[in-house]
Amino acid sequence: MSKKLSAEQVAFYNANGFLGPIDLLTMDEAAELRRHIEQIEAKLGLKMMSRFRIKAHLPFPFLCDLVSHPKLLDAVEDLIGPDILCWGSSFFQKEPGDKTFVSWHQDSTYYGLEPPNTLTAWVAITEASIASGCMRFLPGSQGKGLYSHDELVEKDNLLSRGQTVKGIDESRAVHVPLKAGQFSFHKEDTLHASHPNSMNHRRIGLSIHYVAPDVRETNFPGASAMLLRGKHTHGYWLPEMQPKADLDPDCVAELDRVFTLYKMAPERRKKAS
């Protein structure tokens, strides 16, 4: 029996490669999460997105609490089973009226996971409406292997390498607007994108990456993940360290180490081929 999702929701996700919106936090809880994030940004003088990538939750106990929220894990379990690991997370932020966007792409492009079965939860910390640039998905684009991606140099693309699938039939795209505190799911090989934020408020989201223990990282050795529920049955991931306080220096150093490995992965693949 499902813990949070209905049979209809599970069937929709399996058929289309995405699902949402799904309720998680109250408006007050989401507002407190935003307050905490903006407090850290004010202290550091920069956006979370520009500093904390790949394992954004790792240096922050309050984000580790979000990643392991029981209601979120109940929904994850309905889709990938009772043994749940979190290997990463990243912020995606758009300022009021800015031109930043996310091009059509698959997450599989650079993850290096085998099999490519990451389940990503995109948690809206602020409202993500159509006008503020919510996620868009191409239904049924999953399960067809890796699409051809071009790396386009576009300064407003939030993707670090501008990985872009061309020729998408935009008329088939489905927007998934989220209220603050809601989330959506998508498979790592589902094509998705987002428009710029035309509103007068920030759009802040955290994407969280979950896998079952039979998924392994092939880009580099020594990858780590946080066991959140069940058992670590395959031993593919090293245990994740836990932050003692916000900006835990050991966790920040680990985040930086892993982010460097991910940035180097495409060059290693080119050399290997």
In the predicted structure, residue 272 carries a pLDDT above the cut 50? no
Whole-angstrom CA distances from 82 to 210, 211, 212 are 12, 11, 8
Angstrom distance (rounded) from CA 88 to CA 211: 10
Residues 107-139 have pLDDT tens digits of 887 788 999 999 999 999 999 999 999 999 999
| 191, amino acid identity | L
> The tokens 């049979």 sit on which residue?
7
State the pLDDT at residue 109: 79
Higher-confidence residue: 193 or 167?
193
State the pLDDT at residue 174: 97
Residues 140-185 have pLDDT tens digits of 999 888 777 877 777 778 877 767 888 888 899 999 999 999 999 9
For the chain, give every domain's residue range.
7-272
State the pLDDT at residue 273: 45
Residues 58-73 have pLDDT tens digits of 999 999 999 999 999 9
DSSP state at residue 188: T
In the predicted structure, residue 78 carries a pLDDT above the cut 70? yes
Angstrom distance (rounded) from CA 11 to CA 15: 6
Mean pLDDT, residues 175-198 taken together: 96
Banded pLDDT at 266 (limits 50, 70, 90)? low
Banded pLDDT at 77 (limits 50, 70, 90)? very high
State the pLDDT at residue 270: 47
Burial label for 8, CB within 10 Å (0-12, 13-18, 19+), is: exposed
Q: Could you tell me the fold of the domain covering 7-272?
A: Jelly Rolls (2.60.120)
| Proportion of the chain above pLDDT 70, given as a percent | 96
Residues 146, 109: contact at Cβ < 8 Å? yes
The pTM assigned to this predicted structure is 0.94
Radius of gyration of the chain from Cα atoms? 18
Give which of 127, 122, 94 is closest to 27, Cα–Cα.
127
Angstrom distance (rounded) from CA 22 to CA 176: 10
Residues 198-225 have pLDDT tens digits of 999 999 999 999 999 999 999 888 899 9
Higher-confidence residue: 2 or 217?
217
Report the chain's mean pLDDT, rounded to a whole number. Answer: 92
